[in-house]
Amino acid sequence: METSAIDQARATEFAPGTTYLNTSTCGLLPRRAVEAVKALADDSSAGVRGGVGRSSSVASVRAAFAGIAGVAPARVALGGSVAAHVGIVAASLPAGSEVLAPTGEFSSVVSPFAVRGDLKMRYVPLAGLAEAVRPGTAVVAFSAAQSSDGRVADLDAVRAAAAAHGARTMLDASQSAGWLPLDAGAYDYTVTAGYKFLMCPRGTSFLTVTEEAQGTLPALYAGWVAAEDPWNSTYGPVEKLAADARRFDEAVSFFSYHGAEQSLGLLAEVGVDAVYAHATGLAARFREGLASLGHEAVPGTSSTVAVPGLGDREPDLAAAGVMVSARAGNLRAAFHLYNTGADVDRALDVLSG
């Protein structure tokens, strides 16, 4: 019997001790990522030359994410958090600019704009986001999949509306990259946390910037790693920043990026399209099972399933070894490549009492 890449990855890379349906909060690390982090820690402890970490691993992560995002590596900047990437975009806007976002959008996507105090923040329901873009809107900031309930935005409609009114788009792919195919080149900016469906350690994040938009952003974190010639820019002010998106790099955690190199390599072996079919199939099965129990989930085809008003069941599920999360009153379960139909059935069994 032929074994799929997903089956192979599950068998060789994952051995969760629970029924883990909480990737929306934090993805499981593949064994190879854990081993890479441990190896670097051992080298750091032993004082060997490679103990500080390898810049080649950082370059590999940039290239791997570029492949997932469908852009050239020169369009990708690296960092440690989505909020820091958004802060660069927020810093680029003139005072009085309007930022449009969905009501209830994740804090890291909107707070860097809001805390400036001199931007016009406007929030509308996700379903009406495209229709709400208007002349004078500077940036539409939104997630591909909502953190609170997994709803997927009408990406085509929002992009078309932004283009019609001359607004830039900033897409957060933190809850979607890794299971939902990403075309980062279709947006002025994308921001992505690596520790969810990309299965990277915390401390990995990605910013993509179109070539045209690169000229609009300030290099807020212009340390030596953002220089065109890093190793000859270690003392004094950087004289020449990198010509591409690397100018927006933060200095990264080598431990996180050594692990991320392995995690993204695994995801490339499996393929995002295969993960999409697998994860959304499990989510559909869960939605059907919930309906049979009298629970109405948020409709859609997302790999994340949310049930309004059922968030108080999270402790019961956790006590039974089923890891989910409670967000905005919703019970939230997320499915990924390491999940199986047995995981769906186990969660339904606990919910059925």
Q: Which two three-digit tokens encode residue 156?
A: 């085509």
Structure confidence at residue 342 as a pLDDT band (50, 70, 90): very high
User: Which of 279, 245, 275 minimizes the C-alpha distance to 263?
Assistant: 275
Cα(193)–Cα(83) distance, integer angstroms: 9
Residue 283 and residue 339 in contact, taking contact as beta carbons nearer than 8 Å: no
The conformation of residue 336, written as its DSSP 8-state character, comes to: -
Q: What is the pLDDT of residues 5-15, one digit of tens each?
A: 999 999 999 99
Cα(246)–Cα(77) distance, integer angstroms: 5
CATH topology of 5-30+270-352 equal to that of 49-269?
Answer: no
The DSSP bridge partners found for residue 307 are 331
Residue 81 and residue 109 in contact, taking contact as beta carbons nearer than 8 Å: no
Q: What is the pLDDT of residues 32-56, one digit of tens each?
A: 999 999 999 999 999 988 778 999 9
Q: How many CB atoms lie within 10 A of CB 32?
A: 15
Residue 146 has pLDDT above 80, yes or no: yes
- Confidence (pLDDT) at 133: 98
Q: What is the topology classification, in CATH, of domain 49-269?
A: Aspartate Aminotransferase; domain 2 (3.40.640)
Structure confidence at residue 1 as a pLDDT band (50, 70, 90): very low
Cα(164)–Cα(202) distance, integer angstroms: 37
Residue 278 and residue 337 in contact, taking contact as beta carbons nearer than 8 Å: yes
Which CA distances in Å does 22 have to 10, 26, 255?
16, 6, 23
Q: Chain-wide mean pLDDT for the chain?
A: 96
Whether domain 5-30+270-352 has CATH 3.90.1150.10: the reply is yes
Q: What is the pLDDT of residues 59-79, one digit of tens each?
A: 999 999 999 999 999 999 999
Residue spans of the domains in the chain: they are 5-30+270-352, 49-269
Q: Which two three-digit tokens encode residue 78?
A: 């690296």
Q: What is the pLDDT of residues 170-208, one digit of tens each?
A: 999 999 999 999 999 999 999 999 999 999 999 999 999
Least reliable range by pLDDT among 16-20, 50-54, 127-131 = 50-54
